[in-house]
Structure 1
C-alpha cells in the first residue's frame, strides 16, 4: 500500500469525476456503481420510515448534556444519534478528532488512547502513507471504543501564523493539505467507520470564530481553501462533511447555499451528509434548504432546530418532504459506503497500544524538521560527555495542543494545568504527554552524563550550559482551539533564556515544541534548531533519535515561518482588539454568541488564493524559513531534469544521495505560467528514501488544477495554453533549476 500512496504523484488521476480531465482509472466504473447502489439502498430504507423516524436521524445529542434523552447508553463524548432497530439503522457514537480518540478533560475516567503528533507534524512528512497509517491507527482505536464516526480530517488552510488551531491542520498549501487529509481520512475509514472532513469552509481563525464573516472572492476561494477540500474529498471519500462556525461572504457556513448546495453537492457530486459543527446552527428552514443534513450536538445550539421546529416547517411547506428524505438518505449513504452501517461498532475491543505507539513515533520522526545545523553540530557527537537539557518540562514529557483534539494518551499526563480564564477554559488544559526527552536521550547516550534543569532562572541555566559540552533548550508554545495567540513570540521570556544559554555555550541546540511558527530573535547565535511541533505520545524517543542520528531528519515545513509578524497578510488576529475578554469567550463558545448579542465582523482575506509561501513571493518578502525547507544529515542533488509539456506537464529527474548516510528527500515541483504575475505554486512532490550514493529517477506530474485558474464565467477550471516555468526545488524559494515547457489549453468542470 505504501508504494501505491507514494505513487500518488498528484497527477491526473486526482481528477476522476472531473469531466474529461483524466482517463478513467481501473475500477472507477465499479466504484460508481457501488455508490449508486448505496444511495438506492438508503432510499429504500428511508421509504419505510415514518416522519418521526426521519426527524430522529437529522439531529444528534451532545452526551455530556443529554442525560435522560435516550434509553441507550450515553458514552461521554462528542455526539450520539440513536438508531432505528426494526429497520437495521445502527446507533452512532461520534468522537473527536484528528490526533487520536479524544478525551479532553477526562470525561471518560481512565480511558486512554494513542496520541499522534500534531497534524502539522504529519504534514511535514510530505508522505501520504504516513498520514494514512496514522488515520488507520486512530480509526481502529475509535472502533474498539465503540465509536462509528471520528470528527477528523481537518483541512483548513493556514492563512495566519497565529491561528490557535494551526496545529490541527495540514499547513498552507491546498495540494499538500488535500492529499494528506485525503490519505488520513482513507485510513480512518479503512476500519468501516466514518471520518468527516472539516471545517467547511474558511474557518481560518479562532478569535470570534462563531461570529466572524470570512470574505473571499469565488475564484480565489476555489483555488485555495476549497481546492484543499476538493482534493481531500476525492482521495479520502469521507462519509460526512462538517460545516464551520463562521460566516462565508455573508452567510453562516452551515446555511450557506452556495457552499453546501452549489459547490459541494452539485459541482463536486458529494453523496454523503453534511453535519454541523457543535453549536453552528442558526436556523431551521434556511439551513435545511441550503444543504445542512444534520444538526450535531443539539444542546450546544441556541435552540434545537432540526427536531420539532423542522417537523413544523415540513408541515407548513417551508421545507419540502423531499429535502428531509434527501437529508436522511445522505446520512445513511455515508454510513453504508464506509461500512459503518453494516458493521456497527457495538462491541469494545482490546487495543494493541504498543504497536500503535510505533505508528505515532514513526510519524513524529518523519515530521521533525531540522531548520538549522551550522557546523554540523547535529547529530550529537558520541564524544559528548556532559549534556544539559534546559526547560520545556523535558524531564517528564512533551507538550500537546489544546481543545477538542486533546488525547489522554497512554501513560497519562505528567503535567496538566487547568485554565482559569480565556475562551478555551471550559474544555482545555495545558497538557504534556508522558514521553520524557530526558529519559530518551539518556538511553540513547549511555556514555554521557545527561541532566535537566527547569530554566526558570536564566543565569543558572547559563551556568549549567557553560559547564556542559552541549546545551539543549526545549522551547514551548501552547496553542489551543478557541484562542489565537496574541503574537508570535515565545511566551514566558523563553527568548531571554535562549539568549543567555547561547551566550554561555556556543554548542546550543534549540528544540521547538510549538503549535506553528514562532519568531526567533536569537537565531544567529544558536547553531542548531529542531522543529519538533507537538510530537505526540512517543515524542521523547523521536526527538532523541533525531538528535543522536539514529534517525536522519527528513521533515519539510508545511508552513512558512515569517521573519517578522508584518510579513504575514495580517500581523495579529482580526477582532482581538475589539472584543472584551467576556465577548471573546462568548464568541468562541458554540451556541452562546447570540446570548451576548455579538455582531459579526468581517475578515477580508486580501491575499486571495496567494496563501502562505505564495504571499511571500508576491510581496517579495524573505521569510525566516521557507515552506518546504528542511535539512538532513546527508545531501541530495537533482540531476538531468527533463520537462515534458502538452496535455500534461511533468518533470523527470534523478535524485542522488551524495552523502554518507541513508536519508529521505522531498523533491518539489513549482509551476507558473510564463509572463504571469501570479506566484509559483506547488504542483507535485514525492518523498524518496535513498541509501548513500544511491540515485533514483522519478517523475512528478503537475496536478492540472494547480496549472489552471478558476474561471467563474465558464464556470470551471481553465488552463491557459502557452509556456510554463517549472522549478525543481528543495523549498518554495529555490529557483536553481528552472525549465520551461508548452502546455495545451484545456478546461475542466468545477
Structure 2
C-alpha cells in the first residue's frame, strides 16, 4: 500500500530497527505557512504535481470557489447544479476537468439522518465499537468497501468516514461511532475502513483531529494535554490510520486543543499533520467549526465545510480579500487548492466522477456484510454454567424489553442510517443541541422474530419493558428469560451517567429474581454499570448491531455462531474508577441549553464560555489508566469469552533491533471458534502500564494448534521524546505479556531491546 508518510516506511518494514534520527533531520519550528504548505520530509507526489499544474491555470475566483463548500439543506440558489440533501457540496471547474463533489456522512453507512431524502435507504453497519470488537481489520475493510460502494451508487464521491477519536470517557455520546480506547487497534481498524471506502474511487476522511472526546459543550471544550502524551495516544491513532488508509482528507474538530480551536491550530495542522507526518491531502473543517479567515487559512485549514453553519462564510469573499491584501499569501491559497485536488486525484475521485443517476445496489449481498460484522463483534461477557448457547430442549423462552419485538437500537447523529427494511421506531428528541438532526431510531431487525425462526419448536413470548410485573410473570413461567437492555446515545449528547436508562437495572433484578436462568443482552453505546452482575449467569454485549442485528444476536444465542468479540473499551466497576465520572461541566451546560430552548430568540446569550478539560490520564487512556491506578474494572479491554477455549504455549521472543513474539495458540474446546491473541509490552522498571503492541484474530477447529508470530509496533514500544523531537526506544529489559486481555499476566516473557530513535 502506498503511504503518504514516506519518512516512516522503512520503520514499518523492519520493526523497531530504524534509521537514527540525525540532528539535521529534526523538523524546524513550525511557521504559519511552511514552504507553501509543503512538508519538508516529502517530495511532491505525482498527484500533487498534477494538482499544481491545474492550480496554475486557475483564476483567483476559481481557487476561492474550491476552498469552501455548501450545506445543501440551507444552500438553495447558490449553485446551478442539483443539491442532493446531504452533508456537503462543492462545485467543480468543468473547463479544467475538476469534478463536482458531493459529500455524505458517515462511518456506518450512507446517512439520511431525518429522512431528508425521503425513501432513500442504505445498509447500516454495526457501530464502530462493534466493529472494533472483532479485532479484525478485514471486517473493517469489507464494511468500508460496502458503504463506499453505496455512497458512489447514490452519486457521492466524498464520505465523511474514518472516525478514530480515542474513547477517553465511558459515557461519551459518540463512543459508538469510534473504535475504542487503544491507539493501535483504533488506527489499524480505521485505516482498513478508509482503504475500503476509497477502493470505490471516492474520498474518505479521517476525523476528528483532535481530542474530540466529549459531546457536552463540544464547541466550547478546550482539551488540555501535553505534547508527548497526545503523540502517544490520540495522535498516534490518527497517524496509524493515515498510514494504513491513505485518506484523501482529514477533518478537524470542533473543540480547542491547548487553547486554540482545532480548525485553526498551527500545532495540529501544520506542525504535526503536514510537517511531521508529511500529509499531502486536504484538511476540511467540521460543519460549523470555523472561527476566522486569516488565522485558519495560515494555520493549516484548507477548506471550510458546510459554510452556512458557520457564523459567516470565512473562506469566500473574506479569504479573497485577505489574499489580495497579502494577509494570506497566494502561495498558501494555491496550496489549499492543490491539497484538495491531490486528495481527489490520489483516491481516484478526480478521474472517475460520481454517476449522474442513482445506480442499482445489491442490498441483499450488503446485508450479509453487515451481519458478518455484527456477529464478529458481539462480546460474550459472562456464561456461568454454560447457559449459552441455548439447549435444543429449551421449550419456553421469555423475551423481555428493548423493543426486541420490532428491531435493534442505533446511535444518533450524523452517522444515522435509515436502513433497508424501514424504521419501526423513530422518536424525535424534542429539545437540545441535537434536536434538529437526531431521532431515536431502531433498525427493522427483530431479535424476537429471529429467535422464533431459529427455534421453531420453542414457545417464545415477548413482554414490553414498561410492564415489570408482566415481565416477572413471563420469566417465572419460562425455562429461560432474555432481557434486552438498551442505552441510547448520540452525537451532541453525552450519557449523563453509566446507569441503564428506562429502569433497566430494576427490570433485570425483577426478571432474574423470578428466573435464575436469565440472559442479559446489552444494546449500548459503550460501557454501563451492572449492579446485578453477580445474579445474572449470562451477559452478551451486542452494541448497536446494525440492520441485521436481530439475526446476529439470535445466531450467537443459539450457537449457530460462536461469539468471538473482544472488548475494545474497558467496562469500569464504578464510575469513580474512570478519570472523569461524568461529563465535564455537564450540569451547567444542561442548564444553559434549557434556557436557550425556553428563550430561542436570545439563544446566543446562553452559549457557555470556553472551559477546560484536563486529560489527567495523558497517554494512559483506558486500560492503561486502570493498571496505573491499580483499579480492577468489571471487564478489561481485550476481554471476551467463547463457547470454546484457547490456550497459549511455547513462547519465543526475539529482541535487539526488532521485538518479535512467537507462540502456539490451541483450541482446547469442542467447537470451532475464533480467538484474538494479544501482546502487551512495557519496559521493566519504568513504572508505566503495559501497552497493546500487536494482535491477531485467528479461527481454529477443535484441537487445532497454530503458531503465531507477531511483531510489535515500534511506536508502542517507544516513548515520544519532545527533545528530539521524535520517538525513542530506550535500551533495557522489556516485559511482554502474551495475553487473552489487558489484565492477563499468566504468560510473561522478557527480552532486551537496543536503543533506537524514529522521526515524529
Mapping for residues 627-646 of structure 1, pairs under 5 Å: 627-646=637-656
Q: Secondary structure at the match of 1:665?
A: strand
Q: Distance in 2 between matches of 1:594 and 1:329?
A: 37
Partner of 2:401: 391
Does the Cα contact within 8 Å between 1:115 and 1:409 map onto a contact in 2? yes
Are 1:364 and 2:374 counterparts? yes
Q: Distance in 2 between matches of 1:230 and 1:455?
A: 44
Partner of 1:298: 307
Partner of 1:625: 635
Partner of 2:298: 289
Q: Secondary structure at the match of 1:524?
A: coil
Q: Distance in 2 between matches of 1:498 and 1:597?
A: 39
Partner of 2:531: 521
CA RMSD of aligned residues (A): 1.8
Q: Secondary structure at the match of 1:687?
A: strand
1:201-228 Cα offsets, whole Å, 9 max, x none, are 0000000000100000000000000000
Are 1:747 and 2:757 counterparts? yes
TM-score when normalising by structure 2 = 0.94
Partner of 1:86: 95
Q: CA deviation at 1:17?
A: 2.9
Mapping for residues 163-562 of structure 1, pairs under 5 Å: 163-347=172-356, 348-562=358-572
Does the Cα contact within 8 Å between 1:423 and 1:586 map onto a contact in 2? no
Q: Distance in 2 between matches of 1:595 and 1:300?
A: 18
What stretches of structure 1 of length at least 5 have no aligned partner?
Answer: 5-12, 26-31
Does the Cα contact within 8 Å between 2:183 and 2:234 map onto a contact in 1? yes
Q: Distance in 2 between matches of 1:745 and 1:135?
A: 38
Does the Cα contact within 8 Å between 1:60 and 1:295 map onto a contact in 2? yes
Partner of 2:75: 66
Q: Distance in 1 between matches of 2:579 and 2:695?
A: 26
Q: Distance in 2 between matches of 1:544 and 1:580?
A: 39
Does the Cα contact within 8 Å between 1:422 and 1:581 map onto a contact in 2? no
Q: Distance in 2 between matches of 1:22 and 1:157?
A: 22
Q: Distance in 2 between matches of 1:212 and 1:319?
A: 28
- Structure 2 residue corresponding to 1:688, chosen from 695, 698, 707: 698
Q: Distance in 2 between matches of 1:240 and 1:518?
A: 34
- Structure 2 residue corresponding to 1:140, chosen from 137, 149, 154: 149
1:160-179 Cα offsets, whole Å, 9 max, x none, are 00000000000000000000
Q: Distance in 2 between matches of 1:580 and 1:516?
A: 22
Distance 1:181 1:276, change over 3 A: same
Q: CA deviation at 1:422?
A: 2.2
Q: Secondary structure at the match of 1:499?
A: helix
Mapping for residues 645-664 of structure 1, pairs under 5 Å: 645-664=655-674
Does the Cα contact within 8 Å between 2:254 and 2:286 map onto a contact in 1? yes
- How many positions carry a matched residue from both structures? 730
Does the Cα contact within 8 Å between 1:436 and 1:540 map onto a contact in 2? yes
Q: Distance in 1 between matches of 2:596 and 2:154?
A: 32
Q: CA deviation at 1:598?
A: 3.3
Q: Secondary structure at the match of 2:636?
A: coil
Does the Cα contact within 8 Å between 2:432 and 2:593 map onto a contact in 1? no
Distance 1:140 1:586, change over 3 A: farther
Does the Cα contact within 8 Å between 1:646 and 1:744 map onto a contact in 2? yes
1:272-302 Cα offsets, whole Å, 9 max, x none, are 0000000000000000000000000000000
Does the Cα contact within 8 Å between 1:116 and 1:360 map onto a contact in 2? yes
Distance 1:424 1:231, change over 3 A: same
Does the Cα contact within 8 Å between 1:128 and 1:180 map onto a contact in 2? yes
1:40-96 Cα offsets, whole Å, 9 max, x none, are 000000100000000000000000000000000000000000000111000000000
Q: CA deviation at 1:582?
A: 4.0
- Structure 1 residue corresponding to 2:719, chosen from 699, 702, 709: 709
Q: CA deviation at 1:420?
A: 1.4
1:478-533 Cα offsets, whole Å, 9 max, x none, are 00000101100001111000001001101100000000000000011100000000
Q: CA deviation at 1:15?
A: 8.1
Are 1:599 and 2:589 counterparts? no
1:23-47 Cα offsets, whole Å, 9 max, x none, are 489xxxxxx9997111000000010
Mapping for residues 549-588 of structure 1, pairs under 5 Å: 549-583=559-593
Q: CA deviation at 1:594?
A: 6.4
Distance 1:355 1:586, change over 3 A: farther
Q: Distance in 1 between matches of 2:154 and 2:219?
A: 31
Q: Secondary structure at the match of 1:498?
A: helix
Partner of 2:35: none
Distance 1:258 1:593, change over 3 A: farther
Distance 1:380 1:702, change over 3 A: same
TM-score when normalising by structure 1 = 0.95
Q: Distance in 1 between matches of 2:467 and 2:556?
A: 28
Q: CA deviation at 1:596?
A: 4.3
Q: Secondary structure at the match of 1:184?
A: helix
Q: Distance in 1 between matches of 2:594 and 2:210?
A: 21
Q: Distance in 2 between matches of 1:110 and 1:15?
A: 42
Mapping for residues 41-80 of structure 1, pairs under 5 Å: 41-80=50-89
Q: Distance in 2 between matches of 1:599 and 1:93?
A: 34
What stretches of structure 2 of length at least 5 have no aligned partner?
Answer: 16-40
Q: Distance in 2 between matches of 1:159 and 1:422?
A: 24
